[in-house]
Amino acid sequence: MGLVDQQRNAQAVCLRSEPPQQALAQLGDRRGWLVYREMVRTRLRDEVELGLRRSCRVAGQQAVTQTLDRYLEQVPPRTRLFREVACHFGRTVAPWWKADASLPAYLPDLCLYEVAVWEVADLDDRNHPEVVELAFDRPPVLSPALRLLALGHVVHTQPAADGGYTAEPCFLAVHRPADDRMVQPWRLNRLSYDLLCLWQAGGVSVTQAVQRVGQAHGLPVDATFVDGLCTVLADFIEKGIILGSLGAR
């Protein structure tokens, strides 16, 4: 058996819901491979439960087990880093949990929020280009340790007495300031969220983004609008969400 076939069999034994008997036979040492399978799957589950602790608790042991089985068989992780498994798992299974009427409606949002927190906590806050003082005619530079979320439940707060979360549109900036390990969720209004999404995509100046968002929401970009914008920009700069403007290249 060649190396490629051996790798394919090893993957099938470790990731299929039930290890294929033919693959076990071709690999040899059936008992050893079953022990290895259990070690791999336990490690992957531990990573998921560590990164998505609240979501797994809400879903329950049975749902997590069933979802993990489906995930490993249908959409297995391809990262070399165990830490990234929780993020890939969460983004993959959130739509599955949303389609499952037996699970709480807020669970997919909670899952995506925990994915963002887990991911932002480990992002490189130094990986950004040279910046200059913020200027309206240049694209702003946002913190690399930032994820933007549009959710349907207020899952970044403490749960209600019944363990659930309020159902309402919720826009979040999940952010970690430079040289800080503490991740902070900041609630945004829709305008601020849309502006940050445009700036995070890149290539859009402050003025261009304001014009696009104002037009999309049917709002006049008048003195009142600009005054409010300046307050928002100052807040983003103070928090470290906006670092400045993209310098000349």
pLDDT tens for the 249 residues of the chain, in order: 677 677 887 788 778 888 888 877 777 888 888 888 899 999 999 999 999 999 999 999 999 999 999 999 999 988 888 889 999 999 999 999 999 999 999 999 999 999 999 999 988 776 566 788 999 999 999 999 999 999 999 999 999 888 899 999 999 999 998 877 789 999 999 999 999 999 999 889 999 999 999 999 999 988 888 899 999 999 999 999 999 998 765
Report how many domains make up the chain: 2
CA R_g for the chain: 23
Task: Give the per-residue pLDDT at 29.
Answer: 80
Answer yes or no: do 132 and 246 share one domain. yes
Which of 122, 140, 155 finishes a domain?
122
Answer yes or no: do 168 and 118 share one domain. no
Stated as kind and residue range, the H or E segment containing 106 is none
User: CA geometry: angle at 168 spanning 163 and 170, to 5°?
Assistant: 100
Task: Give the per-residue pLDDT at 204.
Answer: 93
Task: Give the per-residue pLDDT at 25.
Answer: 77
Cite the beta strand spans of 72-193 per DSSP E. Answer: 131-132, 140-142, 146-153, 167-175, 184-188
Q: What is the DSSP pairing of strand 146-153 with strand 167-175?
A: antiparallel
Residue 75, Cβ density class (10 Å: 0-12 exposed, 13-18 middle, ≥19 buried): middle
HEC string for 12-59: HHHHCCCCCHHHHHHHCCHHHHHHHHHHHHHHHHHHHHHHCHHHHHHH
Answer yes or no: do 129 and 247 share one domain. yes
Q: Is 18 left (phi over 0), alpha (psi -120 to 50) or beta?
A: beta
Which of 122, 137, 168 finishes a domain?
122
Pick from 108, 118, 186: nearest CA to 148: 186
Q: Which domain holds residue 187?
A: 124-249
Task: Give the per-residue pLDDT at 9.
Answer: 77
Cross-strand bridge partners of residue 170: 151
Which of 122, 153, 176 finishes a domain?
122
Task: Give the per-residue pLDDT at 166.
Answer: 93
User: CA-to-CA distance for 208 and 44, rounded, in angstroms?
Assistant: 44
Q: Hunting for tokens 């992957």 — which residue is that?
A: 44
Pick from 150, 145, 77: nearest CA to 108: 150
Which CATH number does the domain housing residue 144 bear?
A: 3.90.930.50
pTM: 0.91
Answer yes or no: do 34 and 46 share one domain. yes
Residue 6, both tokens = 């051996």
Answer yes or no: do 18 and 94 share one domain. yes
